[in-house]
Structure 1
Amino acid sequence: MPVPARRLPSWVWVTGLTVGAVVAVSVLAVEADKGPHPTATAARPTASAGVQPTPTKSAAPAAVPDGSGTGRRIVYSLGQKRVWLVDASDASRRTFAVWPGTVDPGPGTYTVGTRTDATTGSDGVQIEHIVYFATASGVNIAFSSAVDGSSPPPPAAGVQTGGIRMKTADGDALWTFGETGTTVVVVS
């Protein structure tokens, strides 16, 4: 006499399939982590299209500009398009190139006033670590970085922008260093 086949309850099947899927995904994740890690690069328009150049790193760090004061401060050079984070002993802790907006603050000494964690820039790009320190021609001047790490697009003709953009890591460093009340010295 034949013996009838015994059926497994559906919860056993579901549990088995779920465990199998979790194991398979875990194995694939471990293998993927061992492989190369590609980096995305966006196609950039040519210089003739009016795109601002990418800040470049020099072999030797640029010296803090003469006449930029003393003590703990942020130094911004209009001519060099560069920022220095200077500690209380007048040593540069970090320096990096920036993309200035269309409105520059005048040379002088300012103080970090307002800080905003994140917002949308006047160019429509999500920005973070906004450190405001001046106003010029009715435009607020602030350091910031794009959340996606991109450089700012060229502004539309006649648009006034006061954002001084930097790479994300530099923006993180300036945000940590540039607390409310920090001195900002702008030099030519």
Structure 2
Amino acid sequence: MRAVPAPKVWVTGLTVAAIAAVAVLAVQADKGPHPTATAARPSASASAGASPAPSKSAGPAAVPDGSGTGRRIVYSLGQKRLWLVDASDATRRTFTVWPGTVSPDPGTYAVSSRNEATTGSDGVQIENIIYFTAKSGVSIAFSNAVDGSSPPPASGRQTGGIRMPKADGSALWDFGTAGTTVAVVK
């Protein structure tokens, strides 16, 4: 009669095999191509060209002067960056963003409404949408693509979506409740 291994031996063996398989797949995935997002940058002729995806800087960027005080979201048009600033004026998070084709004017606004998910005017599924103003009939809001990408704005369309990476969109959603101040600076 043949001895049958105990169930614990089988479970342990299967677990080790599964971990090994996941490790091999992770190494293979790391060696493969990595998608990069691009952002459109309007030129003098109003045509859009692709530019590299935003990246996190080596150190946190300082909150721009003239952005106010207290708890607020600060959006720098020139730096294409957001700051989440708490009531003590400490930066809780900062990250780069991909602006749409319609930018808000510098000034102070407030989060007027929020929407968990919808389809953006460019046809992309978006989530964590935080509206704070409109310009030329275009609603301007922060959001992130559900799939984490940020394709360039649709050619010839006016878009007010200010997109960000998915993790940053979730952090902004938690921070930017209705009525939160939004300071837009140059």
* Alpha-carbon distance change, 25 to 180 in structure 1, aligned in 2, over 3 angstroms: farther
The aligned residue for residue 7 of structure 1 is none
Conserved 8 A contact 2:140-2:162: yes
Under a length normalisation based on structure 2, what TM-score does the superposition of the two structures give? 0.79
The aligned residue for residue 88 of structure 1 is 87
- In the alignment, the residues of structure 1 paired with residue 34 and residue 150 of structure 2 have an alpha-carbon distance, to the nearest angstrom, of 12
Q: CA deviation at 1:168?
A: 0.5
The aligned residue for residue 51 of structure 1 is 50
Equivalence map 1:94-133=2 (5 Å): 94-133=93-132
* Alpha-carbon distance change, 35 to 180 in structure 1, aligned in 2, over 3 angstroms: same
- In the alignment, the residues of structure 2 paired with residue 29 and residue 122 of structure 1 have an alpha-carbon distance, to the nearest angstrom, of 43
1:38-94 Cα deviation digits (max 9, x unpaired) = 25623778x9x9223201222121100001000000000011110000000001111
Higher strand share: 2
* Alpha-carbon distance change, 83 to 43 in structure 1, aligned in 2, over 3 angstroms: closer
| Pair 1:42-2:40 in alignment | no
The aligned residue for residue 4 of structure 1 is none
* Alpha-carbon distance change, 43 to 94 in structure 1, aligned in 2, over 3 angstroms: closer
Q: CA deviation at 1:32?
A: 2.4
| Pair 1:33-2:31 in alignment | no
1:6-58 Cα deviation digits (max 9, x unpaired) = xxxxxxxxxxxxxxxxxx9877544323435225623778x9x9223201222
| Pair 1:138-2:142 in alignment | no
1:85-126 Cα deviation digits (max 9, x unpaired) = 000000111100000011111111111011111111111111
The aligned residue for residue 161 of structure 1 is 159
Structure 2: unaligned runs, 5 residues or longer? 1-12, 41-47
SS at match of 1:65: coil
Q: What's the % identity of the aligned pairs? A: 67
- In the alignment, the residues of structure 2 paired with residue 44 and residue 78 of structure 1 have an alpha-carbon distance, to the nearest angstrom, of 19
Under a length normalisation based on structure 1, what TM-score does the superposition of the two structures give? 0.78
Deviates more, 1:128-137 or 1:118-127: 118-127
Q: Which aligned runs of 4 or more in structure 1 are off by greater than 4 angstroms?
A: 24-28
Q: Which amino acid aligns with 1:163?
A: G
Conserved 8 A contact 1:99-1:152: no
1:130-173 Cα deviation digits (max 9, x unpaired) = 0000111110000000111112224212x100000000011011
The count of corresponding residues between Structure 1 and Structure 2 is 164
2:168 to 150, 167, 170: 170
